[in-house]
Structure formats: C-alpha cells, structure tokens
Structure 1
Amino acid sequence: MKITLRTVAEAAGVSVATVDRVLNRRDGVRSVTIEKVESAIRQLGYAPSSLAGRVQPGTSRFAFVLPRGHNPFFEALETTIQRLGDWLPYKGASFDIRHVDVFDGEVLAEALREIRQDSYAGVAVAALDHPAVREAINALKSDGVAVVTLVSDVPSSRRDRFIGIDNTAAGRTAGSLIGRFLPNHSGKVALVAGSLALRDHAERRFGFEQVIAQDFPEVHVIALREGRDDPARVHKLVEDLLRQHSDLAGIYNAGAGNAGVISALEASGRAREIVYIAHELIEENREALVRGTIDAVINQDPGHEVRSAARVLLSLTSDWQIIDEQERIRIDIFLRDNLL
C-alpha cells in the first residue's frame, strides 16, 4: 500500500494541510499536533512524495553493501531493499546490493573503491571499523558521494550518518537482563561475538561488561569467543564452553550465528538451565524463544533501518529535510510473552 499525505493525516487525526505544515516546518502548529504527525510518520515509514520530482535519473543510483554469507538479519534487510521500489515514490531512484566479506577490512575497502567507479549518488555500508575502510569512505566523500554506515559504524570516517541502534545501550540492556535473570544475580557468563573489529559488536561488549561490573558484582564474564557470525563455528565454540565450564550460567551472543548457540545448548540438555540473551527477532530466534532456549531477544527493526537509510541518502542528495525523530532506530526487547 502506498503511504500518502492523506494516510498520515488520517493516522494522526489531523488535516492534510496540517501534515504539510509540519513537514515543511511552518509556524502555527501546536507542539502536541507536531508530535502526533511525526509519530504517524515514524509508524507508517512515510517518505514525502514531494521529493520525487527532485530526484533525477542519472543521479539517483544508490548501493547497499551487505555481508556475504548466510545471516538471517541481513537477509531481512536485503528483502526490504528489494522492495524499496514499491515503497518509495521517488522517480528514477534505484538501489543495488553488493555482497562483501565485511569481516575483512582490506576486502571491504576494495569493494568501496570499486564503487567509486560506478557513479553512485550514495552508499549505505555495513561497515568494519578498520583504517582501510575509513579511508575508502573518506575517498567516496571526496568524490561527492553520500555515505551512511548501516548497523555497524565507522565514526572516525567522514560518513554522513550512522543508521542503527545505540549498540552500547543494547549491550547494557543485555547485561541488565542476564544479571536479573540469573538465580541470586550470580554465576559464570560467556560472551560470544562475530568479531570485535565490528564496532557494533565491540560496543555491545563494552556496554554488557560495564553493567555487569557496576550492577552485578557476583556475575563473572569468564570467556569471550569470536564466531564470525557463522552458525557452525559458533556451535563448536559454545560446545567447547559447555564442556569446559560445567557450571556455566549464562550466554550473551552479541552477534549472529544464533542457530549455533541454540543447537549446542539443546544438544547438551542444559538449554533450560542456562540464561541465553540473543539479538534480532529472526525466525530461528523466535522459535527458540517460545521453546525457552532463548530467554530474551534484543531487536532492531531491519525494515525501519533500510527505509531510514534510503530516506537519508535521498535527502543528502537533494534538499529534503531529514526528520531526526523519524530516523531514530529503537531497541526492542522481546520475551516469549510479548511476541507479536
């Protein structure tokens, strides 16, 4: 369904003229009305069609650079990217997808250098915080290409904007959940990540360990393992952890590869004994949450992130104003009791 100005007006309970005044930041609109309109915009994912005429063929090609391999969360991102043509009203805008090994900084940087030759107006990249990647992003910016980082950031680069959750806050949330779920708020906890070279994983680790140290002194983080978001590799890592620590009380996976954690826990017969906190409400996590293998899932909305990246890139290459509230990516927490 196409989201129009009238759709937003009906959702907010105001007139079309009022929505237009809010979008164009005109005077004479009460703050409570502005809040209603902006809330409707965020919920509907509305992108003003007035931008359509300002996006011209030949300058409206955009690229999304995503990880190579099987990752259900990024597959959900990709599905949304493929549907942007149905959702976005912009004339001539097109969105290509490039798959790269984002765990290898030199490989990712080379892919970004190749993109410089392809006349893209903007690029959204799931980025590795690596010197070569930073320089490749800076080179794109020097060429006048709009760049946003997606899910994982490179803040030392000249990128225009980061599209994703506050990953330190996500890690703190995981620490608070696991600390509260553990019997007597104590026990041994293992931390699994894809790679600490990915800034989102590193920030989640920082937030997690910060909360554990501050609020749960009887919880001990006894291991950190990197699984490169590969389920088979993660399975082996968790299998080894369970064998080495018969009293392991909790696991926090700051990355992907959750199928590996799930299979290792369930094969051990200890799935209901060990508190497990995971990221992203993908199907395998949803099912494990219902079974009780996962205790809580920290989620970010892949559809919102893709639409936000598209809106921001188009705004950066036109004169359309970015609405910060619309582009803020929320952290959601799911238990099996509140699944949608």
Structure 2
Amino acid sequence: MTRSTIHDVARVANVSLSTVDRVLNGRNSVRQSTREKVEEAVRSLGYVRNTAAANLSRQRRTRFVFLLPGGANSFMRNLEDAVVSYAKPLIAEGVDVVVRTVPAFDGAALSRELNALDTDALDGVAFVAVDAPEVRDAVQMLRRKDLPVVTLVSDLPPDLRAHFIGIDNIWAGRTAGRLLGRFCGATPGKIAVVAGALMMQDHAARYAGFRQVLTEDFPHLEPLPPIEARDDAQLAEGRLTDLLASTDGIVGIYSLGAGNRGVVAALKTIRSVPPVVVHELTEHSRDWLLKGEIDAVIRQDPAREARSAVRTLLALSLGKHLNKDENRVGIEIFLRDNLP
C-alpha cells in the first residue's frame, strides 16, 4: 500500500505545503477552520509523519518576498536599501528575504506578482498596497492559503491582511494641516496639494486628515483638489506650475507624496514662495530645508519600517506573539533647526 505524503495532505485539504507544515508543527499562525481541514485530511488519509523528514523540514530556510514600487522615488529606494541591509545578517540564521520592484500605482502589475507567488516555497509577503479590486482578490487568495500578508507604507482594509507596517496617515495629514495653518497665520487663501494617486490609501488618508484640520481650526484656508502627479517629478513640476500660474490666492503648498523635486522646481517660477510642507526626509529634502526652499518635512523612518516588517513576518510565520507596540512606526517632524 502506498504511504500518504505531506503533498497528499495539502491536496486533500486544498492548502499549501507550508500551511500543512505549520499545522503539523503546532504553529499558531493558521486559522482554526484551516487547521481543522488539515487535521481531517490527515485522519482520512491515515497520514503518518516521517520523523526524519519532519526534522529536515524544520531545518528548511524561511523565505519572505517584499514587493516595492520601482522608479526614482527616493523614499522607496531608501526603504529597499533598508530591507536588504536588515535582512543580510539573517541569512546565516536561515532567513532569506527577496526584494522585487513593481511599477508604482499599477494594481494590475502588483496583482500579477502576488498571484505568481509560490506559496509552497514562501513563509510570508510584504508589499506597498495599491487598493484596487484585483489586488484585493490576489490577497484574499494568499490568505486562503494561510500565507502571512503584511502591507507596508500604504494599507488595505484590515480584514484582508495580517498586519500593517507604517505611520497613521490620517495623523500625518492632520500634522501637515496644523503646520501649514500655523505657518500661514491669519491670511485667508488656498492651499495647493500635490499627491501621487488617491488610489493609494496612504495618500487618500493624508488628504482626508489635512482637510479635517483646516476645516476644524483654519477655515480661512481652502485645500484645493489634489494634483495627482504619480510621484513623478516632471509631472508634478508641470501641473503645479500651471496651477500656480492660473490660480490666485495660493498661500501654502502641501506635497503629500513623492515627486518633490518637481514641486521645488515649480516654486522657482513664482516670486514669493509660500510655506511648503512635504513628506519624507531624503538627501534632497534635507538640502531644501537647509536652503529655506521648504519649511517642514514629515518623516516615517524607512529603517524602522524595514526592521518592523521583517520582524512581523518572522513572528507570523512562526506563530509567535506579535508585539505591535514594538513594531509601531511613528511620525517625525523636521525643520532646518533639528535635522539629524
């Protein structure tokens, strides 16, 4: 009689090999309904564990994939470098982290990458989410296979992913609103807003928080509809230049995404530059602060996000307790006077 294998258990339970492995090794990262399906498959097949094979299985390497937006976005390149740097010493401990780039703001491209993941060979995935229907469908498929899914920087609805690593973007937008409200003083006017794309939850949430504060505490300031420049410096420069030339009464500028090199270039087309708040501390925004070309930077630490994401995936894949406070990412405000 042919002896049943772990592959048979995975096929009958309709789950991945890694899920069967987690159930057989008593890890807590598997949903109860999935655990019961695996246990029922084990019983129906009369599966008996091969102890030697199980020991070998426990020695297998842990593998994670990070999917990050490609392109010239300085923050994303800093985040990519931070993930690679943090993961490098983990290789000796049996943990492999692969970073791949996908086109920014492209839900179809991201969903293709997620659908192509070999869940039998992976222990978790982290990615910057595009909130599009095809991405939600791909994530639901991964969760049905009990692959730990972590969103990074930009989120999805909480019921889809296991955990989110990033700042509270409503708070970040409110912070920007408070800064510009103070910088602009009592002068009434309009605030120009430059975004990447509002299909990204982080950008939409920042704009919502920004509007909240202006409505509540600075009603004399009117936030204009965001220019969506897809974090592209050339697009940002052209569209903001047109807005500044065609709109009277702009007394402040909030850039809530990337493409800030284009924003600063557009400011050179006007005589009197209003207060400017941007996101992410890079070599460029540091230089603009020092030169007085912008007034404040709202930062999320890419090194902390990289560290928290890898630690979170490790905890989820091993069924260990997840310390959410330890992995929390806070908001930092930098002026020219407190640059690190």
TM-score under structure 1 length normalisation: 0.80
Contact 1:56 1:91 in 2 (8 A): no
- Once the 2 structures are TM-superposed, how far is the Cα of residue 289 of structure 1 from its aligned partner? 0.9
Q: Equivalences for 1:86-101 in 2 at 5 Å?
A: 86-88=88-90, 91-101=93-103
Contact 2:107 2:135 in 1 (8 A): yes
Say if 1:108 and 1:85 are closer, same or farther in 2 by CA, change over 3 A: closer
Report which stretch shifted further, 102-111 or 85-94.
85-94
- Give the structure 2 partner of residue 145 of structure 1: 147
Report which stretch shifted further, 115-124 or 298-307.
115-124
Task: Tell me, yes or no, if structure 1 residue 241 matches structure 2 residue 254.
Answer: no
For 1:262 and 1:207, how far apart are their aligned partners in 2? Answer: 23
Contact 2:90 2:96 in 1 (8 A): no
Number of equivalences: 284
Q: Equivalences for 1:160-175 in 2 at 5 Å?
A: 160-175=162-177
Task: Tell me, yes or no, if structure 1 residue 203 matches structure 2 residue 178.
Answer: no
Task: Tell me, yes or no, if structure 1 residue 339 matches structure 2 residue 339.
Answer: yes
- Give the structure 1 partner of residue 113 of structure 2: 111
For 1:133 and 1:294, how far apart are their aligned partners in 2? Answer: 36
Give the secondary-structure state (helix, strand or coil) at the position aligned to 1:189.
strand
Give the secondary-structure state (helix, strand or coil) at the position aligned to 2:219.
coil
- Once the 2 structures are TM-superposed, how far is the Cα of residue 287 of structure 1 from its aligned partner? 0.6
- Once the 2 structures are TM-superposed, how far is the Cα of residue 102 of structure 1 from its aligned partner? 3.7
Identity %: 43
For 2:199 and 2:73, how far apart are their aligned partners in 1? Answer: 18
Contact 2:126 2:150 in 1 (8 A): yes
For 2:152 and 2:281, how far apart are their aligned partners in 1? Answer: 18
- Name stretches of at least 5 consecutive residues in structure 1 with no aligned partner: 1-54
For 1:118 and 1:180, how far apart are their aligned partners in 2? Answer: 53
Say if 1:122 and 1:185 are closer, same or farther in 2 by CA, change over 3 A: farther
**Residue type matched to 1:264 in 2?**
A
Give the secondary-structure state (helix, strand or coil) at the position aligned to 1:220.
strand
Say if 1:121 and 1:207 are closer, same or farther in 2 by CA, change over 3 A: same
Say if 1:175 and 1:100 are closer, same or farther in 2 by CA, change over 3 A: same
Say if 1:185 and 1:176 are closer, same or farther in 2 by CA, change over 3 A: farther
- Once the 2 structures are TM-superposed, how far is the Cα of residue 328 of structure 1 from its aligned partner? 0.8
Contact 1:171 1:206 in 2 (8 A): yes
- Once the 2 structures are TM-superposed, how far is the Cα of residue 115 of structure 1 from its aligned partner? 1.4
Contact 1:266 1:293 in 2 (8 A): no
Say if 1:222 and 1:158 are closer, same or farther in 2 by CA, change over 3 A: closer
Give the secondary-structure state (helix, strand or coil) at the position aligned to 2:338.
coil
- Name stretches of at least 5 consecutive residues in structure 2 with no aligned partner: 1-56
For 2:333 and 2:290, how far apart are their aligned partners in 1? Answer: 14
- Give the structure 1 partner of residue 264 of structure 2: 262
- Give the structure 2 partner of residue 321 of structure 1: 321
- Once the 2 structures are TM-superposed, how far is the Cα of residue 324 of structure 1 from its aligned partner? 1.9
**Residue type matched to 1:137 in 2?**
V
For 1:166 and 1:199, how far apart are their aligned partners in 2? Answer: 11
- Give the structure 1 partner of residue 220 of structure 2: 218
Say if 1:116 and 1:178 are closer, same or farther in 2 by CA, change over 3 A: same
**Residue type matched to 1:303 in 2?**
A
For 1:219 and 1:310, how far apart are their aligned partners in 2? Answer: 41
**Residue type matched to 1:178 in 2?**
L
**Residue type matched to 2:235 in 1?**
R
- Once the 2 structures are TM-superposed, how far is the Cα of residue 261 of structure 1 from its aligned partner? 0.3
- Once the 2 structures are TM-superposed, how far is the Cα of residue 186 of structure 1 from its aligned partner? 2.7
Structure whose CA Rg is larger: 2
Contact 1:67 1:74 in 2 (8 A): yes
Give the secondary-structure state (helix, strand or coil) at the position aligned to 1:181.
helix
**Residue type matched to 1:61 in 2?**
R
- Give the structure 1 partner of residue 131 of structure 2: 129
Contact 2:61 2:96 in 1 (8 A): no
Q: Deviations over 1:254-286 (max 9, x none)?
A: 11111110111124343xx31111000011111
- Give the structure 2 partner of residue 75 of structure 1: 77
- Give the structure 1 partner of residue 312 of structure 2: 312
